Structure 1
Amino acid sequence: MGISSRFYPNLYKDSVSLMTVSARVTSIPGIEAASVVMASATNVDNLAQAGLGTFEIRPNDLVVAVAGSEEACDEALAVADKLLSTAPADGGDTAAAAPTTSLQMAVAKDPALNLALISVPGDYAAAEAMKALRLGLDVMVFSDNVSVQAELALKLYAREADLMVMGPDCGTSIVNGIPLGFANVVRRGPIGVVGASGTGTQEVTVRIHQNGSGVSQALGTGGHDLADSIGGISMLHGLAALDGDPATKVIVLVSKPPSAAVAAKVLAAARASAKPVVVIFLGADPATITGDGVYGAAYLAQAADMAVALARGEQLSSGDIAISPDMQRTLSDLADSMASSQRHVRGIFSGGTFCFEAQLVHRSHGITARSNTPVAGNAGLADIRTSLENTIIDMGDDEFTQGRPHPMIDPSGKDARIRDEIADPATAVVLFDVVLGYGSADDPTAELISIIDVAGAAARAEGRTVAFIGYVCGTDLDPQDRAAAVAGLQSVGVLIASSNAEAALWSATLIAARGGQR
């Protein structure tokens, strides 16, 4: 295997564009690994750790690094050249307008601007975000690798200026109906969301849309906001903003478990709100949250269902996830048809919150699992490349994405892991998510459907029946065809659930029937 690379001096592309180019390059036959990044200190270090070579730090330059056969590397660099080239604008006989090269120039050209989206290498993101704040702009920081100290400084400044910082590492927001980052297309409506988790916010907004309601705003905070070190500054600001928004009738707060002190602060603010607030702190007992106009939810889908009911003035249901008699029979038949070796679940997720929620559902049914991002009571994996017993992993976590695109953009690595799990004689259930929307792959199920079809048949030829359970997070308005994705997966025997929690419940039920609780 050879390694090839190329620098592009003084060429900037945002993070999503770079990951998209990287995904295209990685898909070339014969390419083992590829990365398309700005040559910042952090990215140069990541390239070295990924085995793609050592490079000098040239922050204004873009670098493409590929590994594979010589012919594939040559083709990959040619493809990258084409994708990264920019044709000059057709200006006719008029002189080209001067490019906007700074936030200050942008605001000078259009003083009505009020939001900056920062998507530069993390080494520089905090400085750009602070420039935006000083210009009076709210900020969404898509970039990660921003220090806690820098995040706190940004958010303290924003709080004093009555501005909001969404992020750092904010992957999902919907502002005035416009999806930002990895986000789904949902109708406008009376429910506002403040989310400290990207895919958690995506499922809540998608479910609201599917229930016939809509979203006023969905404001991301970044995953560190509810830690003691930050204190929930952005979630508190978002809650206050939605409380004062005439278009918002119900508010939903979404997070993995916050610190106890920050949770108490956020819940106190929620109880002081003039509007009903649904809170989903994944893993927290809803009974400890509910009261004084605040409604605790156990799962993401339940939070969305409760918000829709409140917005319509309807009575809240228990929210418990139930298995229909038909599905119970299906799961029982699958369990009975399996070989004696098949006892374990292999959950392969692109969404970190989906992975977290799936572990919680399994634990609530007495099933522990190993993970690269374990919940309390679950064990870690010594080697993230190898599953042991019950394993539920987040392939969107940093340790999987260094040197390669996120699996929402390029699902090939996730698909390959699913193929390996199907071939394991211990696998009873392959549990997975498919996330649609802006930023995600144009056709995230094409290769997956083929893998399930071929590998599933090979397992059956060996006397094994593997159960495939999936959840497709998306709406009928997304750029991808959700109905076609669901139909394609069902055509190869995948059981498609209506929510991530329901998919996990089906899996836990089947694993319990197989005696794989360990």
Structure 2
Amino acid sequence: MSTTNHIARVRIVRDTYCDSLRLLVATSVMSEREDVSWAGAVMATPSGLENLAAEGFGEEVIGTAGSNDLVLAVRTSGEAAAQTALDSGTEAVYAQAPAESEGDAVAPPRTLRQAVEQMPDATVAIVSVPGEYAALEAHHALSEGLHVLLFSDNVSIEEEAELKKRGNELGLLVMGPGAGTSVISGTGLGFANSVRRGPVGVVAAAGTGAQEVSALLDRWGVGVSHVIGVGGRDLSEQIGGRMAKAAVRMLDKDPATKAILLVSKPPSQTVAREVLGQCTSTPTVATFLGLGDMETPSGVRLARTLEDGALAAARLVGVTPTATSKGVRRQVEDAIAALGEERRTVRGYYSGGTLCYEAQLIIGELLGDVYSNEPLLHDHTLPAPPGTHVLLDLGAEEYTVGRPHPMIDPTTRLEIMRREARDPEVAVVLLDVVLGYGSHEDPAGQLASVMEEISADGGPRVVAYVLGADTDPQGYARQRAALEQVGCLVTETAARAAYAAAAIASRRPELAEVH
């Protein structure tokens, strides 16, 4: 919506802390209103104020808000619309607070110490606070003898190294920072899917990578013992794989874990070998996306894609899944026949960073250079050269400043696709739909009408992948059907979606069967 004649209004709620998930919910609720062109709910930390200033909400508007204050900000068509939007954001913030039971209600704890006193049997603390406070809160949790899922971003690598060194000394896991996904003894933490228990243990330095392999293992009837997300930097030289090593050792000793699957974007080769060396008795598969060949310990095999890794792990526990591209080649041929000759490029709009990276690798290998994750220019156009394949991770920080993550709210992704996807050079629009706890309640329903609009009148074909388990709250079968009903080509795995997109753009239908 145009911002012409729109007004900017803020509401400051003093001494009110909200974690990142509540901020995202409040932002989403305000943004959904038709008369709101921009909305954001942030804590008035230095980084939060900087983000608001970039949207035109400077000190003259914000005033004296401090780090412990909540700021709700909107740009709307008028005063009444602004107040209504701010009211809805305020209600969303407080709706997330724990409801008191009748009778002797227990006040929500205000400190970690109080939480431990109320839940003395707890073993894991989830830390989701602004990055400048996250390390301190994680240290407090370790001092209480708790494993930590550090959901927060913007934790320095020095703080991460210190936390993980201390965790090693205490025999506790520090999952993160930026750990979006873990499943511990059947309980999902962060963005997780409803997956069955089973014999494969997953250690992942990649959030949607962990979701992809655990969802595939669930759909193939295998299941997972635990999914331990260690944070995207864990296998770097600076961190040295401290938590990946600890997680592998734990799974190696776990009688319920019969195979281990490691997942990561390109790690340090030295660190990767050290991590694999911790697998002393349990057969192991490693998917190190983009790393290429490397020497591995005996009994460890490498897999090239997330699907390959999940298949190999399933076979290690005696299950031979049927991952198929049946019928895809025919759909690819039909898509090619419907395209004008000038349409030769792929545009990918991803909510999952690991899925986007895997697709970049596949399409880059098959079609050549891929332009990836530079933010849009100020005039809202992509700065990629003509004829370039573009795959964007829209969950990256440059796209989520003041906006909910696209897994939670697809609004930003829809805006970008409407603006960019009908470029006359585009042959294929490629995207993921990620289900599970924490994700939008009906992501395919939100996307379907836009997908139909994009493909109309000889527009680009849409290739989609639905990452989910059969028992996810959104309903895996329903989500697939919603996309198929509007003509999307929906594949069985994320890798196969990338192969299908490459096949359509290059007019080589055989590529759809390469995998």
**TM-score, structure 1 length as denominator?**
0.90
Q: For structure 1, which runs of at least 5 residues remain unmatched after alignment?
A: 374-379
Question: Superposed, which structure 2 residues align to 1:104-119 within 5 Å?
Answer: 104-119=113-128
**Cα deviation, residue 420, structure 1:** 2.6
Answer yes or no: is 1:485 the counterpart of 2:485: no
The 1:41/1:431 distance shift into structure 2, 3 A limit, reads same
Answer yes or no: is 1:258 the counterpart of 2:258: no
Alpha-carbon displacement from aligned partner over 1:306-348 (angstroms, at most 9, x marks no partner) = 111111276xx9x9x9855x43233233223311221110011
Contact 2:27 2:403 in 1 (8 A): yes
Question: Superposed, which structure 2 residues align to 1:111-150 within 5 Å?
Answer: 111-150=120-159
The answer for the alignment partner of 1:376 in structure 2 is none
Q: Which amino acid aligns with 1:399?
A: E
Matched residues in 2 for 1:265 and 1:119: separation? 30
Answer yes or no: is 1:362 the counterpart of 2:369: no
Question: Superposed, which structure 2 residues align to 1:20-59 within 5 Å?
Answer: 20-54=25-59, 55=62, 56-59=64-67
Contact 1:211 1:305 in 2 (8 A): no
**Cα deviation, residue 472, structure 1:** 0.3
Matched residues in 2 for 1:352 and 1:124: separation? 25
Q: CA RMSD in A?
A: 2.4
Answer yes or no: is 1:476 the counterpart of 2:459: no
Aligned residue among 190, 193, 200 for 2:202: 193
Q: Which amino acid aligns with 2:68?
A: N
**Cα deviation, residue 82, structure 1:** 2.0
The answer for the alignment partner of 2:404 in structure 1 is 405
**TM-score, structure 2 length as denominator?**
0.91
Matched residues in 2 for 1:89 and 1:336: separation? 56
**Cα deviation, residue 98, structure 1:** 4.4
Alpha-carbon displacement from aligned partner over 1:48-70 (angstroms, at most 9, x marks no partner) = 22334444452222111112322
**Cα deviation, residue 511, structure 1:** 1.7
The answer for the alignment partner of 2:286 in structure 1 is 279
Matched residues in 2 for 1:181 and 1:82: separation? 23
Query: Equivalent pairs: percent with the same residue?
Result: 41
Aligned residue among 15, 19, 23 for 1:18: 23
Q: Which amino acid aligns with 2:482?
A: G
Aligned residue among 485, 495, 512 for 1:501: 495
Matched residues in 2 for 1:85 and 1:236: separation? 40
Answer yes or no: is 1:511 the counterpart of 2:496: no
Contact 2:325 2:491 in 1 (8 A): no
Contact 2:193 2:435 in 1 (8 A): yes
| Secondary structure of residue in 1 paired with 2:372 | coil
**Cα deviation, residue 488, structure 1:** 1.1
The 1:447/1:254 distance shift into structure 2, 3 A limit, reads same
Question: Superposed, which structure 2 residues align to 1:220-231 within 5 Å?
Answer: 220-231=229-240
Matched residues in 1 for 2:319 and 2:444: separation? 38
The 1:289/1:475 distance shift into structure 2, 3 A limit, reads farther
Q: For structure 2, which runs of at least 5 residues remain unmatched after alignment?
A: 1-5
Aligned length: 496
Contact 1:52 1:67 in 2 (8 A): no
Contact 1:197 1:255 in 2 (8 A): yes
Alpha-carbon displacement from aligned partner over 1:262-289 (angstroms, at most 9, x marks no partner) = 122222223xx2101110000133x535
The 1:99/1:471 distance shift into structure 2, 3 A limit, reads closer
Contact 1:29 1:72 in 2 (8 A): no
Matched residues in 1 for 2:377 and 2:417: separation? 19
The 1:20/1:90 distance shift into structure 2, 3 A limit, reads closer
The answer for the alignment partner of 1:343 in structure 2 is 344
Question: Superposed, which structure 2 residues align to 1:27-426 within 5 Å?
Answer: 27-54=32-59, 55=62, 56-70=64-78, 71-85=80-94, 94=104, 96-270=105-279, 273-285=280-292, 288=294, 292-312=298-318, 324=326, 326-372=327-373, 385-386=381-382, 387-388=384-385, 389-426=388-425
**Cα deviation, residue 91, structure 1:** 5.8
Matched residues in 2 for 1:2 and 1:99: separation? 37
**Cα deviation, residue 466, structure 1:** 1.8
Contact 1:289 1:296 in 2 (8 A): no
Contact 2:345 2:427 in 1 (8 A): yes
**Cα deviation, residue 486, structure 1:** 0.8
Matched residues in 2 for 1:90 and 1:264: separation? 50
